[in-house]
A and B are shown apart, each in its own frame.
Chain A
Amino acid sequence: MTEDQAAADDGRAAGVPPAAPPADQAPVRVRMPIKLPETAALLGVLVVLIAFFSLTSPFFLRFDNIVNILQNVAVIGIIACPATLLLISGQFDLSVGSAAGFVGMLMAVAAADPETTRVPFALGLPIWGAVIVALLGAAFVGLINAFAVTVVGINALITTLGTLAIFRGLTKVLGDGQTIRIQGFGELGVVRPLLDIPLPVYLFALVVILFWFIQRYTIYGRSMYAIGASPVAARLAGIRTKRAIFIGFMLSAGLVALAGLIRLSQVGGASVNTGIGFELAVVTAVVLGGASLAGGRGTILGTIIAVFIVGVLGNGLIQLRVPSFWIEVAGGLLLLGAVAFDQLRIRLAPAN
């Protein structure tokens, strides 16, 4: 007893063995972040894929084909950056594909001449005016998703599954089911400012740097990790969680608009089918890239490599003349594989 009181005297709690050296490093299965080896593994997969397709297809490594891959990767990659940020915070945006189609169609219709086309909503605006209409449309997309998820409190998967249908439907309404051509909007998607590589690839690089910076260094980016790691703890630590997620959906809509306009410019017109399947490619890339469905983890670098894997795989399979139906099957399998790997990762992670 006296020992205990002595212990109490130096400010320690009594009833506590004075020298209690419990095994203080918890005996959990300690695994450090698998970032580096994981990214390396992804890179390895990419190299193997490239090697494989180079050997099996004579066309794969041709400059035209590489540019082709880059064009597609740029569009998906630009969307995948904010999607990574969202998934890190535990949120999804499945509406990216139809929103990209919607924004593109909005611009095409706004620019279409009501005299010469038979589109009901044609406005005949100049290109800059049509771009503004498209950006307003993007703001609308972002606000709907963000409002439903953060203010109404609907699960993000369900919200964006709903808006996926809404935006696709609106695209068809706007275009009256047709493909709407656009004139004089080749700059964004087609121009090759440097090294004979199209502008979207450079834009993609800029977006990557921007999002890498956001996630790595800004309070906002760090908050998204914290929210994904534990929404309750984030709120209790003084993070405005709803506001952060709201901004995340707005960012997603903004970058989706950029991707949608690039695609519009590349194709020279908006089809009611533009953007179908983007969500699959984006979610596959983000999860494959190491962002956890459980939230709190993920890197832009991983996502980017994974976007290339998805792009190279799709292109390579086409080069090998695999029927497109089977390529679709492969896309689904890749997503399931990525998610299964993530589940494995969650299970092996230190118990919490």
Chain B
Amino acid sequence: MAAVEAGTAFALQARGIRKSFGGVEVLHGVDLDADGGSVVALLGENGAGKSTLVKIIAGDYTADSGTVVVDGVEHHALDPRLARDLGVAIIMQEFQDAPTLTVAENISLGRLPGRVGLVDWAAVRQRARHILGQLEVDINPDVRVASLRVGERQIVEIARALSGEARLLILDEPTAALSHHEAEILFHFIRRLRRQGVAIVYITHRLDEVSEIADRVQVLRDGSTALLAKVTEVTRRDMIQAMIGRRMAEVARPPAPEHDIGAQPALRWIDASLTRVFESVSLDVKPGEVVALYGKLGSGAVEVAETAYGLRRLTAGRLEMDSEVVAIGSPVSAIARGVGFLPADRKAGGAFMVRSVGENVAVASWPVLARMGMIRDEVEATAYRRWRDRLSIRARNSSKQLMATLSGGNQQKVLLARWLERQSRALVLIEPTRGVDVGARGDIYAALRRLAATGMAMLVVTSDYEEAVQIADRAYVMAKGQIVAELRGDAITTTQLLEAAGG
């Protein structure tokens, strides 16, 4: 393939890369080396600067300062076209494909071969067959990409990247959405490409992948390199330490609850399964308790929680609420059972942005607040005021102001108020502080702890281990559709969570 024919060993050195967004420097002069025939694993937490760094190398962003040297030629500013001409191909976290088009079309996307404006379909198919053959995969070039499995789509993306003159392949968390088996296939490709002399930069935060695939590991933390070593020379713990640094100790535990924890679980899953999503999950949440369900994207954690709210149905096992087996088929029946739900996507699934805060608080309680089927504004205003101070919602006193005018954190508090107004006894929260600024995050944690003290049962699903540490009385760790650990009290630490989840 093109990568092989390129011949000379590829060498890229990024030097002293700095980049700021809105006055905040996110990369403080970072170096990165990528050499043909070797794999660099780029590790780091969210916000460490990994994606920014590789996007600069791919020409998507322009560095504020620093240079990129490719095959001895120094470049101060790359653009996507120049980067592509230099042989840099990047595969982003989110698919950049056109799912309604065929595999062959996707591979030639933006570079359809043709004559006098007519597509040369034979050439399109030929190119696709050639490259898929090189990759030794059995994907029909004539099927629509939308009909492929996620792992296959990823491979089509790689095929597209390689069908150009790719000599450096950058993969940004390619396995985030892949099953274990699909990830294995991907690793197989990566090894092949490495043998063929392609340089590979592999972004991940799964530590187990590093030793499996990489030659070198580079850890970024807060925009600087925290560790740079050969994979054989570092331990897993070194990498975790480098990723989270001093903050490992900074993430403090909440005090042990002084109130009583109920004996009977409010929510309890027993050997619960959902085909191909999670298997034999058993977990419980008691009244007065904050339980974290920690798992990465694709671990099945979100899906487990969604079964409590009628958004998915178990295919095996059972769900109990207050020691009673329940069949929750819809949000309506979950709400009737006293369960409240805060979705991860606050804007699309939680808040009514163009409606007032009063309505946003009252909506789930309308049937309760109504007098003869009628809702008066005063009732909603009272409901809003009831919770505004208790949850320290920073907004004006008027219940009429639009939800969209509040900050993300305060919107989240309004949504919390919705379920308090509804007198929910159990709350399921998915990524409750995603996109919430630090100050409001503290408020929300404090509010959740206080609510637990009133006897509410809280299940917080999170992919942020610090969040789990900061909030939970008890934490379950999920990976690959199963619960792999249960931690209690001060045993909930970032290290424990990361190790249990497989890095």
Find chain A residues with CB under 8 A from B438 CB.
15-17, 20, 22
Given contacts A15-B247, A226-B352, contact A28 B405 (CB under 8 A): yes
Which of A13, A218, A292, A294 makes the CB contact (< 8 A) with B446? A13
Q: Is B249 interfacial (CB 8 A cutoff)?
A: yes
A4, A5, A21, A217 — most chain B CB neighbours (10 Å)? A217
A128: min CB distance to chain B, Å: 31
Given contacts A25-B395, A236-B349, contact A296 B331 (CB under 8 A): no
Contact digits for B232-243, partner A, Cβ 8 Å, 1 yes 0 no:
000000000000
User: CB distance A13 to B445 under 8 Å?
Assistant: yes
Contact digits for A210-227, partner B, Cβ 8 Å, 1 yes 0 no:
000000011110110110
In the complex, A96 Cα to B410 Cα: how many Å?
42
Q: Is A11 interfacial (CB 8 A cutoff)?
A: yes
In the complex, A19 Cα to B21 Cα: how many Å?
25
User: CB distance A24 to B407 under 8 Å?
Assistant: yes
Find chain A residues with CB under 8 A from B309 CB.
236
Q: Is B404 interfacial (CB 8 A cutoff)?
A: yes
User: CB distance A17 to B352 under 8 Å?
Assistant: no
User: CB distance A222 to B331 under 8 Å?
Assistant: no
B291: min CB distance to chain A, Å: 17
Find chain A residues with CB under 8 A from B331 CB.
235-238
Q: Is B394 interfacial (CB 8 A cutoff)?
A: yes
A348: min CB distance to chain B, Å: 12
Contact digits for A9-38, partner B, Cβ 8 Å, 1 yes 0 no:
111111111001111111010101100000
Which of A22, A33, A217, A352 makes the CB contact (< 8 A) with B440? A22
Find chain A residues with CB under 8 A from B394 CB.
24-25
User: CB distance B404 to A4 under 8 Å?
Assistant: no
Q: Is A344 interfacial (CB 8 A cutoff)?
A: no
User: CB distance B407 to A13 under 8 Å?
Assistant: no
Q: Is A61 interfacial (CB 8 A cutoff)?
A: no
In the complex, A223 Cα to B466 Cα: how many Å?
38
B330: min CB distance to chain A, Å: 8
User: CB distance A1 to B439 under 8 Å?
Assistant: no
| Stretch from B146-154, B295-303, B340-348 that touches the partner | B340-348
Chain B residues 214 to 264 lying within 8 A of chain A, measured CB to CB, are: 247, 249-255
User: CB distance B404 to A226 under 8 Å?
Assistant: no
In the complex, A236 Cα to B344 Cα: how many Å?
12
User: CB distance A296 to B402 under 8 Å?
Assistant: no
Main secondary structure of the interface of A (DSSP, over half): loop
Given contacts A1-B249, A219-B373, contact A33 B359 (CB under 8 A): no
Find chain A residues with CB under 8 A from B450 CB.
11
Find chain A residues with CB under 8 A from B402 CB.
30, 32-33, 350
User: CB distance B354 to A229 under 8 Å?
Assistant: yes
Find chain A residues with CB under 8 A from B251 CB.
14-15
In the complex, A349 Cα to B353 Cα: how many Å?
10
Q: Is B449 interfacial (CB 8 A cutoff)?
A: yes
| Stretch from B362-370, B382-390, B454-462, B475-483 that touches the partner | B362-370
Given contacts A12-B442, A219-B367, A233-B351, contact A238 B335 (CB under 8 A): yes
Find chain B residues with CB under 8 A from A8 CB.
252-255, 470
In the complex, A236 Cα to B441 Cα: how many Å?
23
Q: Which residue of A lies closest to B371 (CB)?
A: A217
Q: Is A239 interfacial (CB 8 A cutoff)?
A: yes
In the complex, A25 Cα to B393 Cα: how many Å?
10
Find chain B residues with CB under 8 A from A192 CB.
none
Q: Which residue of A lies closest to B422 (CB)?
A: A238
Q: Is A351 interfacial (CB 8 A cutoff)?
A: yes
In the complex, A81 Cα to B281 Cα: how many Å?
51
Q: Is A62 interfacial (CB 8 A cutoff)?
A: no
In the complex, A7 Cα to B402 Cα: how many Å?
32
User: CB distance B445 to A26 under 8 Å?
Assistant: no
Q: Is B113 interfacial (CB 8 A cutoff)?
A: no
In the complex, A297 Cα to B402 Cα: how many Å?
12
B9: min CB distance to chain A, Å: 44
Q: Is A230 interfacial (CB 8 A cutoff)?
A: yes
Chain A residues 231 to 246 lying within 8 A of chain B, measured CB to CB, are: 232-240
Q: Is B82 interfacial (CB 8 A cutoff)?
A: no
Which of A9, A220, A229 makes the CB contact (< 8 A) with B352? A229
User: CB distance A20 to B442 under 8 Å?
Assistant: yes
Q: How many residues of B contact A (CB 8 A)?
A: 59
Q: Which residue of B lies closest to A219 (CB)?
A: B366
A223, A238, A296 — most chain B CB neighbours (10 Å)? A238
Find chain A residues with CB under 8 A from B405 CB.
25-26, 28, 30, 350
User: CB distance B250 to A4 under 8 Å?
Assistant: yes
In the complex, A93 Cα to B267 Cα: how many Å?
43
User: CB distance B364 to A237 under 8 Å?
Assistant: yes
In the complex, A351 Cα to B400 Cα: how many Å?
18
Q: Is B409 interfacial (CB 8 A cutoff)?
A: yes
Which of B349, B408, B410 makes the CB contact (< 8 A) with A232? B349
In the complex, A314 Cα to B98 Cα: how many Å?
47
User: CB distance A24 to B410 under 8 Å?
Assistant: yes
Find chain A residues with CB under 8 A from B449 CB.
11
Find chain A residues with CB under 8 A from B376 CB.
217
Find chain A residues with CB under 8 A from B250 CB.
1, 4, 14-15
Contact digits for A188-205, partner B, Cβ 8 Å, 1 yes 0 no:
000000000000000000
B109: min CB distance to chain A, Å: 28
Which of B254, B366, B441 makes the CB contact (< 8 A) with A223? B366
A209: min CB distance to chain B, Å: 14
User: CB distance B352 to A233 under 8 Å?
Assistant: yes
Find chain A residues with CB under 8 A from B470 CB.
8, 13-15
User: CB distance B367 to A229 under 8 Å?
Assistant: no
Chain A residues 241 to 273 lying within 8 A of chain B, measured CB to CB, are: none
Find chain B residues with CB under 8 A from A225 CB.
352, 355, 359
User: CB distance A11 to B255 under 8 Å?
Assistant: yes
A147: min CB distance to chain B, Å: 20
A13, A23, A222, A230 — most chain B CB neighbours (10 Å)? A13
Q: Is B374 interfacial (CB 8 A cutoff)?
A: yes
In the complex, A14 Cα to B373 Cα: how many Å?
45
Which of A222, A294, A350 makes the CB contact (< 8 A) with B404? A350
In the complex, A236 Cα to B374 Cα: how many Å?
21
Find chain A residues with CB under 8 A from B408 CB.
26
Which of A1, A12, A226, A230 makes the CB contact (< 8 A) with B349? A230
Find chain A residues with CB under 8 A from B252 CB.
4-5, 7-8, 13-15
In the complex, A294 Cα to B165 Cα: how many Å?
44
Q: Is B332 interfacial (CB 8 A cutoff)?
A: yes
A245: min CB distance to chain B, Å: 15
* Chain B residues close to A by CB (< 8 Å): 247, 249-255, 309, 331-332, 335, 341, 343, 347-355, 359, 363-364, 366-367, 370, 373-376, 394-395, 400-402, 404-410, 418, 437-442, 445-446, 449-450, 466, 470-471
6 residue pairs of the A-B complex, CB under 8 angstroms, read: A7-B442, A12-B446, A13-B471, A17-B439, A236-B350, A352-B351
* Chain A residues close to B by CB (< 8 Å): 1, 4-5, 7-17, 20-26, 28, 30, 32-33, 217-220, 222-223, 225-226, 229-230, 232-240, 292, 294, 296-297, 349-352
- Known interface pairs A223-B366, A226-B363, A237-B363; 8 further A-B residue pairs with C-beta atoms within 8 A, sorted by A's residue number: A13-B254, A15-B251, A26-B406, A236-B341, A236-B343, A237-B364, A238-B335, A349-B354
